[in-house]
């Protein structure tokens, strides 16, 4: 390093670049020009927890690198996000601090936005939204009413955990070993009316489309297959005691070996099959918490209905009831074939005293089979099913329903939206504070005007999430009127790429369902496939010391601390390089040290060469002697650029970074070879090397944008207006051209 080399001071460099971006409005979503590719990069929507964790840093560093890359290639890029701000995490945090959740959410969101800015993420920050804002949740209410009218939302009794002391229902995570998280009293299961989202009409289409999705990584596709839970098999009609029953089995070659029939407790015809003796048992099973118990065939509850039905081979089969069916095939009836099915063998052992494990076979032995059964027809079943969307909590979107004694559940007229959630609500964990608010609860019935009660259940934040990918595509000033009808939606949707954690599969599956529903209902008719995301990258989580990060283990890595010590670029570079997106990232000090050393080396090495360039003299003979070395450097650069371009386009950022570090090594090797041959660099050699370093800095922009842009500026060879441009070709001068105009 010469004494003229500008110091590598990440804090200073980063502050300067961030100020320049903000001033120029570099990341505002542009109005796409005709023929320009529209690329909406959708990052995950964080809960307003108050702090970014390393998983967020991984998510946004991946998305940001991709957004910068596509911008650099001249595409119109929308990179926007919002907070999933309703729901239990915010409510619990507010209870702990005894502040209204609205206050907590605002403070946390500001804090997290500050962290994101400091990390240099190129979001369009003007488009940030909170799902708990009135202008936002009125659309959750609109969506509720729209789906309700389309018959896709219904109300039915469901089992929920209830604490008598706290006088409230509890979420699964609030039940610890059967005890209330707050008062440690025993939790009861009660039945109460619950709102459900009907997803079954779209399962088949989700299934079909999943086969055709392009640009989805394997991890993302695997979650969609898992949630769908498709079973291929056959269906046939059985008869017994004057009744018919259609049963399903995935074992088409062994139907004749069936020894029992298993019925879902949610089967539409269950009442016809359950004898008086078993009715109490069924009631117990329904309210007895099987939803919480293990769905393992060894422990799952099974009821003998006492009924018999003629099986495929003609013999009488007992009819049992068990939620095991739901966990495997959805709410249907299934044949139990212990000879070929492990779970069925467990049930048989428990209910019929069958042998220990009939399924075990010698290697290469054919599974047992039976003659084909007449009347069996191809059939597909899905495990995915309707799910509850209402919670007895106060920090959520109010459900736009009014209960009238005369008219039942009446939808709030659209003109009366939003149903406003009181901002000053202060939950304590006891009861539902909305029940205590006459100003909220007591309203006239929209139909008859008689005194009626507002629904005090709120929507689970999973429901808000059904359309959290939409708002960023609508200009903020238009959101209160045109959330689902704004013309820009047709520009940006479907999103070119969703980047999200591997645990987002459920959200994404349901977002895909609702897109199809809104296509059929009308607003999203322009999305013919009904798919919200054309591409999808799921990534695994970040752990430390081989374990999940937790306060309890004391292994939590704080992004702020790392950024303070090493700078944002180093943190981003390290997390992108450490592992491919589909791998769990085991964080280590080594990664951050490598990244810090590498960026510092690139900085110092490049700056030294930029500064020294003018000192190199040109000698045609010397230049001719090293021309082949410059030619090799050009080829290295071409090969490197091609690989990095391909990797980055496929979001394989770890691979791209490895290719960048390799190219840097080669640029160093090139200099060593010239020195070995001539003892010094000719001006031609130095020019070629500086051009290679400029190319290297350009490829670094998506991964270490501050350092890369500052280097490009320092090179004096780049238009300050196009710092983010991606190099589409390699421009390394092999034959020397004297840059000094004649006569000077
Ligand atoms: Zn309690
Ligand atoms: Zn009424």
Alpha helix stretches (DSSP H) within 25-174: 54-72, 88-97, 101-118, 134-149
pLDDT at residue number 743: 43
Give the mean pLDDT of 180-185: 86
pLDDT at 162 over 90: no
Q: How far is the CA of 287 from the centre of ligand 1 (A)?
A: 19
| Cα(395)–Cα(464) distance, integer angstroms | 12
Q: How far is the CA of 409 from the centre of ligand 2 (A)?
A: 9
Nearest ligand by distance to the CA of 186:
1
pLDDT digits (tens, 9 = 90+) for 639-663: 999 999 999 999 999 999 999 999 9
- Does the predicted model carry a pTM greater than 0.95? no
Give the mean pLDDT of 204-217: 96
Nearest ligand by distance to the CA of 162:
1
Nearest ligand by distance to the CA of 444:
2
What would the 3-class secondary structure string for 211-255 be?
A: CCCCCECHHHHHHHHHHHCEEEEEEEEEEECCEEEEEEECCHHHH
Nearest ligand by distance to the CA of 448:
2
CA 25 vs CA 116, 124, 297, 477: distances in Å: 16, 9, 59, 18
The token pair that represents 511 in the structure block: 């977002």
Q: How far is the CA of 448 from the centre of ligand 2 (A)?
A: 4
pLDDT at residue number 431: 83
Nearest ligand by distance to the CA of 409:
2
pLDDT at 355 over 70: no
Buried b (16+ CB within 10 A) or exposed e, 506-541: bbbbbbbbbbbbbbebebbeebeebbbbbbbbbbbb
Q: How far is the CA of 194 from the centre of ligand 1 (A)?
A: 21
Least confident residue range of 155-169, 510-524, 526-540, 574-588: 155-169
Q: How far is the CA of 142 from the centre of ligand 2 (A)?
A: 21
Q: How far is the CA of 405 from the centre of ligand 2 (A)?
A: 7
Bridge partners (DSSP) listed for residue 543? 548, 586
Q: How far is the CA of 445 from the centre of ligand 2 (A)?
A: 5
pLDDT digits (tens, 9 = 90+) for 381-419: 999 988 889 988 899 999 999 999 999 999 999 999 999
Instruction: Give ∠ CA 542-546-549 in degrees, rounded to 5.
Output: 50
CA 353 vs CA 259, 348, 655: distances in Å: 12, 6, 56
Sheet holding 168-170, edge to edge: 168-170, 153-163, 188-197, 387-388
pLDDT at residue number 491: 95
DSSP string for 546-588 = TEE--TTTT----HHHHHHHH-HHHHHHHHHHHS-TTS-EEE-
Give the mean pLDDT of 337-348: 93
Q: How far is the CA of 152 from the centre of ligand 2 (A)?
A: 23
The token pair that represents 308 in the structure block: 């018999």
Nearest ligand by distance to the CA of 446:
2
Nearest ligand by distance to the CA of 452:
2
Helix (H) or strand (E) holding 635: helix 627-649
pLDDT at 744 over 60: no
Q: How far is the CA of 447 from the centre of ligand 2 (A)?
A: 5
Nearest ligand by distance to the CA of 453:
2
Mean confidence (pLDDT) of the chain: 92
Least confident residue range of 179-193, 527-541, 556-570, 669-683: 179-193
| Cα(101)–Cα(426) distance, integer angstroms | 7
**pLDDT > 70 in the chain, percent:** 96
| Coil, helix or strand at residue 685 | helix
What would the 3-class secondary structure string for 81-118 be?
A: CEEECCCHHHHHHHHHHCCCHHHHHHHHHHHHHHHHHH
**Residue for token pair 């596709």:** 221
Nearest ligand by distance to the CA of 430:
1
pLDDT at residue number 288: 59
What residues does the ion ligand 2 have nearby, CB within 5 Å?
404, 406-407, 445, 447-448
pLDDT at residue number 294: 47
Nearest ligand by distance to the CA of 447:
2
Bridge partners (DSSP) listed for residue 83? 130
Q: How far is the CA of 407 from the centre of ligand 2 (A)?
A: 5
Nearest ligand by distance to the CA of 449:
2
Helix (H) or strand (E) holding 334: strand 333-336
Q: How far is the CA of 402 from the centre of ligand 2 (A)?
A: 9
Helix (H) or strand (E) holding 188: strand 188-197
Across 347-473, the runs of DSSP E, i.e. the strands, are: 377-382, 387-388, 390-391, 397-398, 401-404, 408-411, 442-444, 451-454, 458-459
Backbone angles phi, psi at 379, to 5 degrees: -155, 150
Q: How far is the CA of 392 from the centre of ligand 1 (A)?
A: 14
Q: How far is the CA of 417 from the centre of ligand 2 (A)?
A: 19
| Cα(315)–Cα(336) distance, integer angstroms | 13
pLDDT at residue number 364: 72
Give the mean pLDDT of 149-155: 97
Q: How far is the CA of 88 from the centre of ligand 1 (A)?
A: 15
Helix (H) or strand (E) holding 699: helix 683-700
Q: How far is the CA of 292 from the centre of ligand 1 (A)?
A: 18
Q: How far is the CA of 632 from the centre of ligand 2 (A)?
A: 83
Q: How far is the CA of 543 from the centre of ligand 2 (A)?
A: 55
Give the mean pLDDT of 128-141: 96
Give the mean pLDDT of 376-383: 95
Q: How far is the CA of 516 from the centre of ligand 1 (A)?
A: 40
More confident residue, 290 or 612: 612
Nearest ligand by distance to the CA of 164:
1
Q: What is the DSSP letter of 405?
A: T
pLDDT at residue number 735: 87
pLDDT digits (tens, 9 = 90+) for 17-70: 999 999 999 999 999 999 999 999 999 999 998 899 999 999 999 999 999 999
| Cα(297)–Cα(310) distance, integer angstroms | 24
- Positive or negative: CA dihedral 358, 360, 363, 366: positive
- Report for 281-295, 317-331, 397-411: range of highest mean pLDDT: 397-411
pLDDT at residue number 740: 57
Q: How far is the CA of 99 from the centre of ligand 1 (A)?
A: 20
Contacts of 143 (CB under 8 A, 6+ apart): 463, 466, 467, 514
Nearest ligand by distance to the CA of 174:
1
Q: How far is the CA of 482 from the centre of ligand 2 (A)?
A: 31
pLDDT at residue number 354: 64
Q: How far is the CA of 401 from the centre of ligand 2 (A)?
A: 12
């Amino acid at each position: 390093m010469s004494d003229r080399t500008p110091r590598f001071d990440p804090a200073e460099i980063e502050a300067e670049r961030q100020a320049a971006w903000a001033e120029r409005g570099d990341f505002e979503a542009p109005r796409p020009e005709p023929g320009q590719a529209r690329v909406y990069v959708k990052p995950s929507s964080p809960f307003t927890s108050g702090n970014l964790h390393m998983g967020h840093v991984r998510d946004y560093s991946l998305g940001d690198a991709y957004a910068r890359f596509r911008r650099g290639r001249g595409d119109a890029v929308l990179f926007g996000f919002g907070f999933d701000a309703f729901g239990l995490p915010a409510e619990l945090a507010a209870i702990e601090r005894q502040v209204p959740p609205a206050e907590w959410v605002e403070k946390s969101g500001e804090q997290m936005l500050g962290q994101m800015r400091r990390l240099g993420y190129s979001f369009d920050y003007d488009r940030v939204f909170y799902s708990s804002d009135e202008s936002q949740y009125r659309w959750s209410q609109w969506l509720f009413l729209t789906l309700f009218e389309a018959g896709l939302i219904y109300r039915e009794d469901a089992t929920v955990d209830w604490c008598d002391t706290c006088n409230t229902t509890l979420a699964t995570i609030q039940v610890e070993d059967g005890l209330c998280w707050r008062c440690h009293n025993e939790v009861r299961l009660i039945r109460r009316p619950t709102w459900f989202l009907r997803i079954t009409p779209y399962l088949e289409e989700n299934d079909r489309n999943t086969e055709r999705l392009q640009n989805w990584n394997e991890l993302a596709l695997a979650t969609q297959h898992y949630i769908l839970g498709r079973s291929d098999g056959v269906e046939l009609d059985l008869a017994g005691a004057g009744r018919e029953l259609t049963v399903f089995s995935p074992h088409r070659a062994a139907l004749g070996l069936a020894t029992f029939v298993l019925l879902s407790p949610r089967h539409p015809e269950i009442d016809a099959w359950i004898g008086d003796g078993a009715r109490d048992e069924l009631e117990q099973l329904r309210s007895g918490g099987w939803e919480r118990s293990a769905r393992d065939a060894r422990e799952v509850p099974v009821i003998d209905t006492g009924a018999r039905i003629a099986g495929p081979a003609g013999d009488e089969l007992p009819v049992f009831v068990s939620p095991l069916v739901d966990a495997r095939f959805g709410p249907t009836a299934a044949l139990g074939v212990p000879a070929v099915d492990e779970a069925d063998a467990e049930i048989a052992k428990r209910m019929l005293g069958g042998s220990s494990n009939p399924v075990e076979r010698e290697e290469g032995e054919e599974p047992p089979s039976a003659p084909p059964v007449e009347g069996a027809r191809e059939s597909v079943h899905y495990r995915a099913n309707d799910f509850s969307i209402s919670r007895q909590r106060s920090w959520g979107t109010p459900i736009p329903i009014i209960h009238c004694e005369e008219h039942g559940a009446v939808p709030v007229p659209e003109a009366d939206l939003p149903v406003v959630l009181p901002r000053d609500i202060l939950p304590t964990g006891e009861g539902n504070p909305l029940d205590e608010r006459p100003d909220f609860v007591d309203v006239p019935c929209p139909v008859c005007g008689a005194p009626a009660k507002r629904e005090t259940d709120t929507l689970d934040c999973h429901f808000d999430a059904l359309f959290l990918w939409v708002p960023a595509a609508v200009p903020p000033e238009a959101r209160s009127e045109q959330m689902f009808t704004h013309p820009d939606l047709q520009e940006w949707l479907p999103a070119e790429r969703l980047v999200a954690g591997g645990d987002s599969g459920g959200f994404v599956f349901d977002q895909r369902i609702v897109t199809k529903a809104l296509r059929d209902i009308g607003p999203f008719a322009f999305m013919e496939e009904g798919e919200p995301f054309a591409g999808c990258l799921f990534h695994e989580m970040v752990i430390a010391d081989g374990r999940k990060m937790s306060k309890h283990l004391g292994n939590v890595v704080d992004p702020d601390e790392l950024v303070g010590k090493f700078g944002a670029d180093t943190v981003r570079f390290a997390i992108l390089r450490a592992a491919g997106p589909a791998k769990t990232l085991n964080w280590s000090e080594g990664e951050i040290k490598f990244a810090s050393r590498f960026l510092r080396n690139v900085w110092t090495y490049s700056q030294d060469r930029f500064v020294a360039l003018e000192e190199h003299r040109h000698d045609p003979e010397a230049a001719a002697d090293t021309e082949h070395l410059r030619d090799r450097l050009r080829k290295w650069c071409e090969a490197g650029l091609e690989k990095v371009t391909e990797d980055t386009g496929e979001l394989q950022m770890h691979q791209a970074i490895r290719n960048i570090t390799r190219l840097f090594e080669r640029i160093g090797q090139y200099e060593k070879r010239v020195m070995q041959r001539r003892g010094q660099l000719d001006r031609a050699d130095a020019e070629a090397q500086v051009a290679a370093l400029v190319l290297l800095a350009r490829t670094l922009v998506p991964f270490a944008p501050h350092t890369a842009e500052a280097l490009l500026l320092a090179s004096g060879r780049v238009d300050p207006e196009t710092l983010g441009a991606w190099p589409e070709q390699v421009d390394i001068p092999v034959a020397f051209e004297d840059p000094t105009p004649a006569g000077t």
